[in-house]
Amino acid sequence: FRSKIYLGNLDSERDWGYAPDFVKGMWASLQMENPESFVFAAGKPKSIANMCQAAFKTVGIDNWQDYVGIDKKFYRPYDKRCIWGNYSKAEAKLNWTPETSFEKWVKIMVDNDINLLKK
């Protein structure tokens, strides 16, 4: 048992999203008479720290910082860049928006991992 998990840059931000939401958008785009290219994204960047906070909160831990360490060997060359998608075309043409909140899909993911560990 380790007392900490070591990660890289906790300030790095990405446009995290729930794959089933994106698949619904992809399916909707394929129903068009003349399919087009779309961006399916959450549209809201969240940091690695946000991910840790949400994941640990799922298991009832508020002081997640006590369990997460930083190791620079896990830093990426482009961690400083904030990347997020603009799904406005999908919203306008397909009436598509992401349905599942960041906190909800993190909970789904953590709960799934816990259930796998119980097997």
- Local confidence pLDDT in tens for the 119 residues of the chain: 568 999 999 998 889 999 999 999 999 999 999 989 999 999 999 999 999 999 999 999 999 999 999 999 998 877 666 778 999 999 999 999 999 999 999 999 999 999 999 98
Q: C-alpha angle with apex 69: 17 to 73, nearest 5 degrees?
A: 85
Query: For position 72, what pLDDT does the model report?
Result: 92
Contact 47, 104 (CB under 8 A): no
Query: For position 41, what pLDDT does the model report?
Result: 97
- 29-47 CB burial, b ≥16 within 10 A, e <16: beeeeeeeebebbbbebbb
Query: For position 83, what pLDDT does the model report?
Result: 77
Query: For position 1, what pLDDT does the model report?
Result: 55
Query: For position 109, what pLDDT does the model report?
Result: 96
